[in-house]
Amino acid sequence: MADKITLEVARYSPEQDGEPRFDRYEVPLIENWMVLDALNYIKDQLDGTVTFRWSCRMGICGSCGMVVNGHERLTCETLLADYLPGPIRVEPLRHFPVMRDLVVDLSDFMEKLERVKPWIIRQPGAPEPSREFIQTPEQLAEYKQYSLCINCVLCYSACPVYGLDPHFIGPAASALSLRYNLDSRDQGAEQRLDVMAQHDGVWDCTVIGECSVVCPKHVDPSLAIQEYKISATKAWFKNLLMPGGGK
Amino acid sequence: MEVTAHDILLIGGGGAGLRAAIAIAEADPRLNLAVVSKVYPMRSHTVSAEGGAAAVIAANDTIDEHAYDTISGSDWLADQDAVEIFVNNVTHEMLRLEHWGCPWSREPDGRIAVRPFGGMKKERTWFAADKTGFHMLHSLFQTSLKYGEIKRYDETFATRLLVDDGVVGGVVAIELATGKIRAIMAKAVILCTGGCGRVFPFTTNANICTGDGMALAFRAGAPLKDMEMVQYHPTGLPQTGILITEATRGEGGWLVNKDGYRYLQDYDLGKPTPTPVFRSMELGPRDRLSQAFVKEMEKGRTLKGPYGDYVHLDLRHLGEKKIDEKLPMVRELCRNYANIDPVHQMIPVRPVVHYMMGGISTDSSGATPLKGLYAAGEAACVSMNGANRLGSNSLGELLVFGARAGTSAAQYASGARRPSDRLLAQAADEERRIEREYLNRNSGRERIAKLREEMQHAMESACGIYRTRQTLEEGAAKLAELKQRFGGITLDDHSRTFNTQLMAALELSGMLEVAESMVHAALWREESRGAHQRTDFPKRDDQKFLAHSIAHRNAEGPPRIESLPVTITRWPPGERVYGR
Ligand SMILES: Cc1cc2nc3c(=O)[nH]c(=O)nc-3n(C[C@H](O)[C@H](O)[C@H](O)COP(=O)(O)OP(=O)(O)OC[C@H]3O[C@@H](n4cnc5c(N)ncnc54)[C@H](O)[C@@H]3O)c2cc1C
Ligand code: FES
């Protein structure tokens, strides 16, 4: 096995208002090292100005998403050796404004996350159990998959619709919304449907499912969006047949 | 400088911080509160917790048993009033989390499922497969969004507490996106900044676990308690330190040495049985298991690898179905980071720095001795973990004491005065200091990464699983040298935009102080108790050391250590018995 590999790291600093450029760094190729390990090596040993986010280094905090050789990846679980002989091109996620180097501005995503009311909604006066809600393993399985999203936003970077229409609520927020709708403890599906219906983005989403392909936690947001289309259509028909009613 | 003001400021958006925020919003919606966090809240380290959270719910379990397990687990260093508050409230807190949508794993009839955990006499650990912390944190964060009154300063790094005349009145913080230095004023500040595993070279902790809050409090004059108590978790992956949860053993995993022998039976932890027995063998407490590893290594019965000695954690007999259902993340982690499949192969593991029992000294309402300053979570020491925390007690602690700190800060803030304007001058000083000592400096040759590495290795040699006066004194001398050398650091990065190198430098300066408090507290405690094992004082000494160490910062030189008696309510100190 080679003992070195080269990374081409996208660099951009708003203070130096130039065009983004790529800097090349050679790093040792150590067994089991991830792309993130290489970036940390660069930062610690070669160039302290290279800027990126990371924290848990175990694929759960969602900080370290980047585009590696053209594909969205969590860099803490992407092996360097998979890219032999190199070079490896590391770029910031697409469709978000770049703040600096590999760090993108997530404000839009954070706002969308909040918009889908991702919390348990109970109808006014609905009784709260004194102990736990009973939820069978089957009921848990209904929404479990959608609860595994780590908010790494790889799916937004891969989503062609979001790229064209930033108003599109997007894959992760849709999945989260469905996660609560499908939870047997929740009664807020109608409120969330209103949010989802506010923008047409959902309808532009084709079944290509780039979002589900790149999802490192196998959440399948694409399926979530298709399910939304079905429930939205149902609601629409209901309103058509019983104007003002059907609620 | 931009100045903003709130009634209450939370520093930290992990489990403790978010629980406190919700408690405040519920206690008094008119209070103006804000959460400052150096990462987006849902990225906080709580997200990494795997195994579960303990709370009595099973029909055959009792609150007193939870208390006894916690206290004996702590080697009688826990304050028993704090433990009683914990065990009496944690089930209610966990149920609230259930009502907020946390996807707890269930029994077939839809009730909460519980699993065995180390040092616990009953099945009482709630879990969400093996992503418990992830689900708890996301449930808390998402629920917190419901409360419009919780303002957030995301990706904002607190550098200093503002204190006037013994009263805390806010913080100075850097907004990472812009490099803007802000003065954020508040009548009360709650530190929920998490642990400091990154003081050591080999840790399960995330990059952000740098003990910032401990350093903030310490520098502001609040003491640190029991800092010598560092928990080594017995099962980390050798190269990375990534945790393999204790739930693997709760589900029936075995620890075996190089001969395939379940070596824990040689260390007064009981006899091997095919299925797990509570408080026995692999379900013994973490301190004892990590110590057994060292002894086994000394006997030459561990395996040798490029990243140090290790033993095997064997899950193969659990079968693929159980592993996928109960421990999916363990399988994912082993595949990704060690290139093995635990369904078919044994997992190499070794002890790894995991958790700080010590922290900012608080009373059971989360108040520190400094007026207006509160703390909760791993950053704090209330103390319910004493000399050894039981696995799955921390997540519950975040909820119980996060909520208590929130409500008591809310009460205090409702009657407190607006912070003094004199603090603005302090804030301006801090801004100038950051510019002078970091952003605008161009002399210096010490690299941050190098100093950090030297500190980490010094801490491992000084403050490891076994300690002696000699290793500790060497460590203390090394830390003093590193503090000196820190004055000569160099930064490559002078940018204002998302300057992570600046953040790393500020973290390191805090870690050096926190590390010093650990070493000096460990020197002071001339006995062996729980996670603190002095080979030169191998016995527990209740005459002298049934007491907390309290570290006070000195302007010059090492901290001063004082002692504070442990609160005993119903459980007089006794022998810790496991497996017999
Ligand atoms: C791998 C792993 C697994 C674990 N598993 C379990 C388990 O199964 N059961 C259990 O009970 N415990 C477990 N623990 C322990 C438990 O997870 C932690 O003790 C707990 O999550 C700490 O929570 P916290 O809220 O105190 O801090 P954290 O979640 O670490 O949050 C700290 C917060 O403070 C903020 N912060 C820190 N410094 C600053 C600063 N200078 N300025 C602004 N913000 C700052 C951070 O941004 C973050 O939001 C585990 C620990 C690890 C490492
Ligand atoms: S660093 Fe946390 S997901 Fe990669």
Let me know if the fold of A4-104 is the same as that of A107-246: no
Q: Do A32 and B95 touch (CB under 8 A)?
A: no
Taking CA–CA distances from B148, the nearest residue in chain A reads A114
CATH entry 3.40.50.1820 includes domain A107-246: no
Average pLDDT over residues B1-9: 96
**Contacts with A51 from chain B: Cβ below 8 Å:** 493, 498-500
Going from N- to C-terminal start, the domains of chain A cover 4-104, 107-246
pLDDT digits (tens, 9 = 90+) for B299-340: 999 999 999 999 999 999 999 999 999 999 999 999 999 999
A-B CB pairs within 8 A amount to 156
Name the closest ligand to CA B117: 1
DSSP-derived secondary structure letter, A50: -
Which pLDDT score is estimated for A200? Answer: 61
Minimum distance, in Å, between the CA of residue A211 and any CA atom of chain B: 21
Closest C-alpha to ligand 2, atom 1: A57
* Token pair 């040798």 in the structure block, residue: B304
Taking CA–CA distances from A33, the nearest residue in chain B reads B337
DSSP-derived secondary structure letter, B417: P
Q: How far is the CA of B208 from the centre of ligand 1 (A)?
A: 9
pLDDT digits (tens, 9 = 90+) for A80-95: 999 999 999 999 999 9
Q: Which amino acid belongs to residue B343?
A: V
Of residues B103, B449, B496, nearest to A140 (C-beta):
B103
Q: Which amino acid belongs to residue A218?
A: H
Distances B353 to A69, B238, B335 between C-alpha atoms, Å: 35, 12, 22
Provide the CA A88 distance to its chain's centre, in angstroms.
22
Model confidence at A19, pLDDT cuts 50, 70, 90, reads: confident
Sequence-distant (≥ 6) Cβ neighbours of residue A86 within 8 angstroms: A2, A5, A6, A7
Of residues B104, B110, B145, nearest to A119 (C-beta):
B145
Which pLDDT score is estimated for A245? Answer: 42
The answer to whether the CB of A54 is under 6 A from ligand 2 is yes
3-state SS string for B161-216: EEEECCEEEEEEEEECCCCEEEEEEEEEEEECCCCCHHHCCCECCCCCCCCHHHHH
Average pLDDT over residues B235-240: 96
The fraction of chain A above a pLDDT of 90, given in percent, is 77
Q: Do B110 and A139 touch (CB under 8 A)?
A: yes
Minimum distance, in Å, between the CA of residue A3 and any CA atom of chain B: 17
**Pair of tokens at residue B106:** 């269930």
Taking CA–CA distances from A216, the nearest residue in chain B reads B332
A54 CA closest ligand 2 atom index: 1
What is the third-level CATH fold of A4-104? Answer: Ubiquitin-like (UB roll) (3.10.20)
Q: How far is the CA of B476 from the centre of ligand 2 (A)?
A: 33
Model confidence at B429, pLDDT cuts 50, 70, 90, reads: very high
Assess contact for B267 and B276: CB atoms under 8 A.
no
SS3 content of chain A, % helix, strand, coil (to 5): 40, 15, 45
Query: Closest Cα to residue B297, out of B313, B314, B309?
Result: B309
Q: How far is the CA of B46 from the centre of ligand 1 (A)?
A: 4
Model confidence at A237, pLDDT cuts 50, 70, 90, reads: confident
pLDDT digits (tens, 9 = 90+) for A164-195: 999 999 999 999 999 999 999 999 998 998 88
Report the C-alpha gap between A175 and A227 in whole angstroms. 10
Model confidence at A243, pLDDT cuts 50, 70, 90, reads: low
Report the C-alpha gap between B544 and B314 in whole angstroms. 41
pLDDT digits (tens, 9 = 90+) for B121-170: 999 999 999 999 999 999 999 999 999 999 999 999 999 999 999 999 99
Q: Look at phi and psi of residue A202 and say left if phi exceeds 0, alpha if psi is from -120 to 50, else beta.
A: alpha
Using most ligand atoms within 8 A of CB, pick from B155, B193, B198 the residue to mutate for ligand 1: B193
Q: Would the pLDDT of A247 be above 50?
A: no
Q: Which helix (H) or strand (E) holds B544?
A: helix B542-545
pLDDT digits (tens, 9 = 90+) for A100-110: 999 999 999 99
The fraction of chain B above a pLDDT of 90, given in percent, is 98
Average pLDDT over residues B190-219: 98
- Which of A112, A132, A138 best tests the B interface by mutation, with the highest count of B CBs <10 A? A132
Report the C-alpha gap between B216 and B379 in whole angstroms. 11
Which residues, in sequence order, are bridge partners of residue B3? B183
Q: Would the pLDDT of A204 be above 90?
A: no
Burial (Cβ within 10 Å: 0-12, 13-18, ≥19) of residue B306: exposed
Average pLDDT over residues B501-511: 98
The answer to whether the CB of A217 is under 6 A from ligand 2 is no
Provide the CA B324 distance to its chain's centre, in angstroms.
28
The answer to whether the CB of A52 is under 6 A from ligand 2 is no
Q: How far is the CA of B43 from the centre of ligand 2 (A)?
A: 9
Assess contact for B411 and B389: CB atoms under 8 A.
no
Closest C-alpha to ligand 1, atom 21: B46
**Pair of tokens at residue A173:** 């927020």
User: What is the rounded average pLDDT for all residues in chain A?
Assistant: 91
Give chain B's domains with CATH numbers: 2-196+210-222+355-424 (3.50.50.60), 234-352 (3.90.700.10)
pLDDT digits (tens, 9 = 90+) for B468-484: 999 999 999 999 999 99
**Pair of tokens at residue A95:** 């469709």
Closest C-alpha to ligand 1, atom 53: B205
Q: How far is the CA of B375 from the centre of ligand 1 (A)?
A: 13
B443 vs B162 pLDDT, higher one: B162
Minimum distance, in Å, between the CA of residue B471 and any CA atom of chain A: 28
Report the C-alpha gap between B81 and B65 in whole angstroms. 15
Assess contact for B183 and B424: CB atoms under 8 A.
yes
Query: Closest Cα to residue B71, out of B120, B115, B116?
Result: B120
Sign of CA dihedral B520, B525, B527, B531: negative
Q: Would the pLDDT of A227 be above 90?
A: no
Report the C-alpha gap between A102 and A124 in whole angstroms. 45
Q: Do B105 and A62 touch (CB under 8 A)?
A: no
Which pLDDT score is estimated for A241? Answer: 67
Q: Do A55 and B138 touch (CB under 8 A)?
A: no
Average pLDDT over residues B356-385: 98
Q: Do A51 and B111 touch (CB under 8 A)?
A: no
DSSP sequence for B471-510: HHHHHHHHHHHHHHHHTTB--S---SSS-HHHHHHHHHHH
Query: Closest Cα to residue B213, out of B407, B39, B374?
Result: B374
Sequence-distant (≥ 6) Cβ neighbours of residue B7 within 8 angstroms: B31, B32, B33, B186, B187, B188, B413, B414
- Which of A39, A49, A56, A112 best tests the B interface by mutation, with the highest count of B CBs <10 A? A56
The answer to whether the CB of A62 is under 6 A from ligand 2 is yes
Which pLDDT score is estimated for A246? Answer: 39
B376 CA closest ligand 1 atom index: 26
Which pLDDT score is estimated for B441? Answer: 84
Q: Do A77 and B336 touch (CB under 8 A)?
A: yes
pLDDT digits (tens, 9 = 90+) for B513-530: 999 999 999 999 999 999
**Contacts with B208 from chain A: Cβ below 8 Å:** 55
Query: Closest Cα to residue B98, out of B108, B87, B111, B85?
Result: B111
Distances B145 to A110, A118, B35, B226 between C-alpha atoms, Å: 10, 8, 12, 35
- Which of B26, B42, B491 best tests the A interface by mutation, with the highest count of A CBs <10 A? B42
The answer to whether the CB of A76 is under 6 A from ligand 2 is yes
Q: Which helix (H) or strand (E) holds A89?
A: strand A88-91
Q: Do A55 and B206 touch (CB under 8 A)?
A: yes
DSSP sequence for B427-466: HHHHHHHHIIIIIT-----B-HHHHHHHHHHHHHHHSSSE
User: What is the rounded average pLDDT for all residues in chain B?
Assistant: 97
pLDDT digits (tens, 9 = 90+) for B13-66: 999 999 999 999 999 999 999 999 999 999 999 999 999 999 999 999 999 999
Average pLDDT over residues B553-572: 96
What positions of B carry a catalytic annotation? Answer: 233, 249
Taking CA–CA distances from A115, the nearest residue in chain B reads B145
The answer to whether the CB of A63 is under 6 A from ligand 2 is yes
